[in-house]
Amino acid sequence: MDANYIVYETLVASRDAADWAFWTMLASWMSVLATIITLCFAYRALSTWREQEKIRVKLDFRIALKRLKSALLFMPLNIDPKEIEQEREQVITKWIFKDVDLITQEIEAGEQNVKRYDELLSLYDNCQSSWLATEHLFDNTELAKVWMLFEEDFEKYISGVASRESLAQMLKMITETRFVFEQK
């Protein structure tokens, strides 16, 4: 082999390597560009998802409030916790003496009160869970202030100290407030 031929083939191989390097570089830049575009779409999708989650959490809270409001309508103006506990004990007695008709008939009215009371507590717990899920979405708002007052008054109501009327008024204020789909 001639030295000039070897140099020529080396030059051709170097030129081909440079061409391949150029096309590889172009492919790398296209890959970087595609990755950046993908990241932009992913960020936009994540932002949209966050807003949808905020709306879902607010909607869950509104639904829980509506259910609590409905249950509160069937509750007495004032609750006597001692009476509720007596009725609960009577319900247990009914289960024990389920074959005795006289005892069963006397207890059925109290059983309804206990069911309503337990349902009210369950719905209130659901509202509190929904409120906690909002995680400061309502900080420094009138809604947050009213909800805090409602929680205090609810505890007073189930202890027999407060009346149902103030709770109903606060629930009405909260449910009339637009907080899920705020008008812009």
For residue 41, being part of any structural domain is answered with no
For residue 5, being part of any structural domain is answered with no
User: What are 6-54's pLDDT values in tens digits?
Assistant: 888 888 899 999 999 999 999 999 999 999 999 999 988 888 888 889 8
User: What are 75-105's pLDDT values in tens digits?
Assistant: 989 888 888 888 878 777 666 666 556 555 5
Task: Say how many domains are in the chain.
Answer: 1
For residue 92, being part of any structural domain is answered with yes
For residue 111, being part of any structural domain is answered with yes
User: What are 121-164's pLDDT values in tens digits?
Assistant: 999 999 999 999 988 888 888 999 999 999 999 999 999 888 89
For residue 36, being part of any structural domain is answered with no
Q: What pLDDT was estimated at residue 96?
A: 64
Note whether 137 and 57 are within 8 A (CB): yes
* Whole-number percent of the chain with pLDDT over 90: 48
For residue 14, being part of any structural domain is answered with no
Domain that holds residue 67: 56-176
For residue 37, being part of any structural domain is answered with no
For residue 51, being part of any structural domain is answered with no
* The amino acid at 152: E
